[in-house]
Structures are given as structure tokens and as C-alpha cells.
Amino acid sequence: MNNLHPRNQRVINLDHIRGNMAELRRITPKSARMMAVVKADAYGHGAEEVARAVLASGADMLAVASVDEGAKLRGCGIRAPILVLGAVTEGDVADGVRHRLIQTVCTEKMVQMCEKAGKDSGLIAEVHMKIDTGMGRIGVRNRAERDAVLKEAERSPHVRLSGAFTHFSDADDGEEGMRYTEEQYRKFRYLCDGLPKGLTCHCANSAAIHRRPDFAMDMVRAGISLYGYPPVPQQSKLTPCMRWTAKISHVKEVTEGEYISYGRTWKAAGKTRIATITCGYADGYHRSAGGKASVLIHGKRAPVLGRICMDQMMADVTGIPEAAPEDEVVLMGQDGDESISAEDLAAWSGTISYEILLSVGSRVERKFEDHTGKQGVEA
């Protein structure tokens, strides 16, 4: 049975995905390869469709969070190199090898797991070494730990070490954050010195692509910027790729003293025209945005009133007399000269744009807009 909310949808513009990839490719040194991060279902945009679009637009590799995510892409026929960013685990290492995914190692034990999986399958387990330069999640932290992993890889005939990478924790912050990023970069270069020749070394995330293109090294990793939301102010032109809409289900007029929604947090000061909208926190619209957010109806802003309900919300359409049931409501995206971004929703909700994009619920229908017809590539 279809469990989609019948009047609530997000439209993903693949033309914008391709345009953003082209722009990121333009501002990245030509000597560096481009990895497109499509983890978490491509930040809610659709992993298969986005993967095909970026591979057609200059991406050399893909990155996912888990073996399961990579296996799903392989099941769609995508054959491009795919790096699993999370550390290899005993439970899925064999699947990672079988699907020819590049897995991440940072201990001798992890290399041993890859060697066993490779030997058992008769395949070579390709791996990248993760180096922890200050993020504090996973990775070797010094030369002793690095060398232990290297020695284990050297004596593992079914393991091929093809790259090394680190992740910047504060590259989107101000001067202090950039100073820390520079320290991380120096440590990464120090720990890359002495690695076997020919490895692909990469450290630049979206923020570093914009702020420090000189940190590109052999490859950069485009994440949130690919979806139109650079994490730092920048001059390049990127376009948001997701538009989220709902519908008006009911319009009424309330009089002075009437309350709207749970907790009676909003009380009419006079005659007010109220629209009920087919979206709530079960659809991924953050409850904490109630009383702060606005939506777009007929290209005009309508303040959201009171608390967001599970499946509905209310907005003031007194200044939009033409608003009527079945009208489109733009929750995120462009409507005429007005727009609401994931960053706007994040500010109203007390979070970040990443979480907003990922919060749009599974019952919200997802459609794709593609005017170039270049999705299908031999990936």
C-alpha cells in the first residue's frame, strides 16, 4: 500500500546537480580528481539519479557512508569507483569486497578482515587508509599506527592500498577554524610522507574546495556544495536542487481571541485568514520552526502560526486573498521572486542545512526534473 502523503512532494532538479558539479569542477585545480559524495541517499536527493548525473558531469569517483549504500548503487548498474567512508566492519567486509567497493581501514585488524574476505572470494580488497588529523572519529593518529597498517597491508596479498584521506572538522568556520584546518593539512601531509608511491591522497571537503583550493592534492570530495549549499560564503554560483511543496487543504477566517494549534501559543489579535497546509513534522518539517517559519503561496510569504502538528501546519494568508484549497505551498524552493532555502529552514529550526535536506520524510513523494536527458551514462 502506498504510504506517501498524497499532496506533499519534493522535486529534485538534476540539471542543477549537473550545473553544480560543473562549477565545482571549474574552481578545482585541473590536476585534482573529483569525488562526489552521495551518502545518505545523496543527502536526500536520490543516490542513483544523482550518481548518474554527476558521473556524466565530471565526477571521477563516488563516496558513500556504508557498504549497504555502495551495494545499492552497484545493483543499479553503476560501475564507477565507490569509496565507503566509514570504517570496514567484520559484518559487511565480504559484501564490500564482492561489490568491488573501496573500503576504509585504520587498524591492523581491519586490514586482516579485508585480507580474509579477499582470499575467501578470490578477489582483491581495495582499501584507503583513513588518517585522523583532528576530527577525532576514525583513523591512524601517528606514524607508528600508520606504519603498522602499512606493514599489514604489505603482507596481505589480497589487499591493495590505493589511497589515504583525512577529514577537516572546522574548515567552514572563520579564521580560527581555518588555522585548525591548516594544522590538520600539515599533519596529513606529514603522515602521507612515506606512504607508497602512487596513492590517491585527498583531504579537501566542500568548505576546503571553496576556501583552500591549494589543499586539493590528488582529489577533492564534493558533499553539501554539490546540492547547492556551500558551507562557507563564496563567489562561485551554485544552485539548490531540491524544491519541497505541499497543498492548502482548508481556508477559514478567525476572529479576535481565537487560538491556533496545540498549546494555544498563537492567539488572533483580530480578524485573520488561516490556511491549513498538508505538511507536518511526520513529513520532516521541524516542529521547532513553528511560530518562526514562513511558506510561499502565490509568490508571497505567509507566516506559519502556532505549533507544527504531526501532519499539518497553519499559516496566515490574510495578505494573500487569492489563497484557496488545493493551491501549491512552497516549503523550500523558489516561487516567483521569493525563495526559501534549506538554510532558512535551518535557522528557523535551530539546526543546519544538511539536516533539513535529510529530514524530508520517506512519505514525501520524490520526483526528478531533467531537461538535458543525460542521466543515463555508462558509469
CB 187 within 8 Å of CB 142: no
CB 320 within 8 Å of CB 353: no
Residue 165, all three cell numbers: 584521506
Cell 583513513: give the residue: 130
Identify each DSSP E strand in 223-312 by its residue range.
242-254, 259-260, 266-267, 272-277, 294-297, 300-305
Name the pairing type of β-strands 102-105 and 266-267: unpaired
Residue 284, all three cell numbers: 520532516
- Has 130 been annotated as catalytic? no
Q: Which of 190, 237, 252, 262 is catalytic?
A: 262
DSSP H helical ranges for the chain: 14-27, 39-44, 47-55, 67-75, 93-98, 108-121, 143-154, 175-192, 206-211, 342-349, 353-359
Residue 228, all three cell numbers: 547547492
Identify each DSSP E strand in 106-177 by its residue range.
125-130, 159-165
- Has 262 been annotated as catalytic? yes
Question: DSSP labels for 22-85?
Answer: HHHHHHS-TTSEEEEE-HHHHHHT-HHHHHHHHHTTT--EEEESSHHHHHHHHHTT--S-EEEE
Q: Which of 278, 292, 281 is nearest to 350 (CA)?
A: 292
Q: Which of 39, 116, 130, 247 is catalytic?
A: 39
The Cα–Cα gap between 318 and 275 comes to 9
CB 94 within 8 Å of CB 117: yes
Residues tagged active-site: 39, 262
